[in-house]
Amino acid sequence: MNRLVVRNIGQLLTMDGAGVRAGATPEALLGLVEDGAIVVEDGKFVWVGREGELPGEFLAGAETRDAGGRVIMPGLVECHSHLIHAGSRAAEFEKRCGGLSYEEIARAGGGIASTVKATRESGWDALFTSGMARLDDFLRQGVTTVEVKSGYGLDLETELKMLETARSLRARHPVHVVPTFLGAHVVPPEMRSDRAKYVDLVCHEMIPEVASRGLAVFCDVFCEAGAFDLDESRRVLEAGLAHGLVPKVHAEQLTHSGGALLAAELGAASADHLDHATGEDAAAMASKGVAAVFLPTATFFLGKSKFPDGRAFVAAGTEIAVSTDYNPGSSNTRNLWLAATIACTHCGLTPDRALRAITVGGAKALRLNQSAGIIATGRAADFIMLSHTDWREILYNFGDSPVLETWVGGQSFSSRLTASSGTLP
């Protein structure tokens, strides 16, 4: 038996609370337990509650930790990332700061296409090494589950290479990796004159091969002007469904494309971005249990002014998640805490809802709500100890990670939280 008891937890945020209903108190939304304690055995929580009610038998032979009155909460869930890629787009950032738009840069051959070129040319070892370093960085910041998309290959060989890299990362890194196929990211440059041929390639060659190898859980599509229209997006997602891949949609980022309603129609796990989504979109998604994933760091980094309307989604009863959208072009950050703060200041979320959005909300966007994002008896013991003693301080003190220690499956990975030297790939 391997038992850990953590005592003297000033505020235990279990996230095992009242759900998403409007008007819920912070205490209910956060599943707040004052003066808490947790017991972990063999990688799972076996007791959660107030320390004064902790049964004495759990202390016999246990390793005991004193939290010093600090906050403990579930490990964070990063539910939308483009972790695997090669190359840098720092020069494009410079151009955007000089006045060019993201769309203008893409039309000139930059944007996603430039990352595709670099990723196609990169070897598997380089993608794996950089992926491990980025996962280490997520772990430092208390992230214990990360969704990883393909989409920088746009040909069968490279898409498979990216997903095989994700599989290897999942086997060799403590962070839980959830793979998503995004062959329908954009049409590759060599096939822009024949869009239909590329959609056929995605539907009839890529998706069947990815599914047959068991390389992805989800099938995603970028439903947007300049990427894939509504009919093309539906074809891709229906092909994924036919091969057992759960739909996800990049929706309503730069324009209102209809992607959120498509996500509701197909019962997608989530619709992501949603800067231009409407109240009708929010209600439709809520009615079908589709999570709303806000990516405010992308909106911020692109210099856009239109953020998702969080209050509309709260009013509709939609489960909200927040993600960094980590990628080399439009959101080059792995700071999920910062994303949550921006969701408060620019999307209208309250801090309690934003904290929920980076834990149980993210888990629901990945359909992991039975295994991640919540501290509860029987769940995997993925949790973090923070430097704060009051949960209200967490997102107020923005920019830096508040994490002191991270546990994955009941095992501490504090030794991996030491800040890295140099620049991460």
Domain residue ranges of the chain, discontinuous segments joined by +: 3-75+373-416, 77-365
- The pLDDT score that the predictor gives to residue 362 is 98
Res. 1 pLDDT band, cuts 50 70 90: low
d(CA 304, CA 296): 10
350: which 2 tokens?
A: 């309250």
8 Å CB contact between 362 and 76: yes
Decide if pLDDT at 339 tops 70: yes
In eight-state DSSP terms, residue 15 is: -
For residue 417, pLDDT over 60 is answered with: no
CA distance 221 to 207: 12
**Contact in structure between 398 and 65 (CB atoms under 8 Å):** no
d(CA 282, CA 311): 10
pLDDT band at 370 (very low <50, low <70, confident <90, very high): confident
pLDDT, tens digit, for every residue of 32-44? Answer: 999 999 999 999 9
The pLDDT of residue 405: 96
User: Which pLDDT band, with edges at 50, 70 and 90, does 416 fall under?
Assistant: low
Give CA–CA dist 389/69, Å, rounded: 6
Higher pLDDT, 109 or 216: 216
* Rounded Cα distance, 205 and 278, in Å: 35
| CATH architecture assignment, domain 3-75+373-416 | Roll (2.30)
Collapsed DSSP state (helix, strand, coil) of residue 403: strand
**Cα–Cα dist 41/62, whole Å:** 9
pLDDT at 401 exceeding the cut of 80:
yes
Phi and psi dihedrals of 16, rounded to 5?
-95, 60
Class of domain 77-365: alpha beta
Confidence class for position 421, pLDDT limits 50, 70, 90: very low
Whether the Cβ atoms of residue 400 and residue 335 lie closer than 8 Å to each other: no
Whether the CB-CB separation of 165 and 84 falls below 8 Å is answered with yes
Length of the chain in residues, anyone? 425
The pLDDT-based confidence of 420 (bands split at 50, 70, 90) is very low
| pLDDT value at 424 more than 70 | no
Q: Model confidence over 13-63: pLDDT tens digits?
A: 999 976 667 778 999 999 999 999 999 999 999 999 999 999 999 999 899
Confidence of residue 279 (pLDDT cuts 50, 70, 90): very high
- Asked if the domains 3-75+373-416 and 77-365 are classified in one and the same CATH topology, the answer is no
What b/e string do you get for 12-49 counting C-beta neighbours within 10 Å, with b at 16 or more?
bbbbbbeebeeebebeebbbbbebbbbbbbeebbbbbb
**Distance from CA of residue 416 to its chain's centroid?**
21
Residue 212 sits at the vertex; the CA angle it makes with 208 and 214, to the nearest 5 degrees, is: 120
Contact by Cβ (8 Å): 385, 67: yes
> How crowded is residue 208: how many other Cβ atoms within 10 Å of its Cβ?
13
Output the CA–CA distances (angstroms, integers) from residue 57 to 39, 53, 67, 74, 212, in the order listed: 11, 12, 20, 25, 48
Q: What is the mean pLDDT of residues 138-164?
A: 98
SS3 assignment, position 120: helix
Q: Which residue has the higher pLDDT, 148 or 417?
A: 148
4: closest CA among 390, 403, 385, 416?
385
Share of the chain above pLDDT 70, in %: 96
| pLDDT grade for 419, boundaries at 50, 70 and 90 | very low
Helix or strand or coil: residue 352?
helix
**Rounded Cα distance, 383 and 407, in Å:** 5
Partners of 76 in the beta sheet? 143
Summary mean pLDDT of the chain: 94
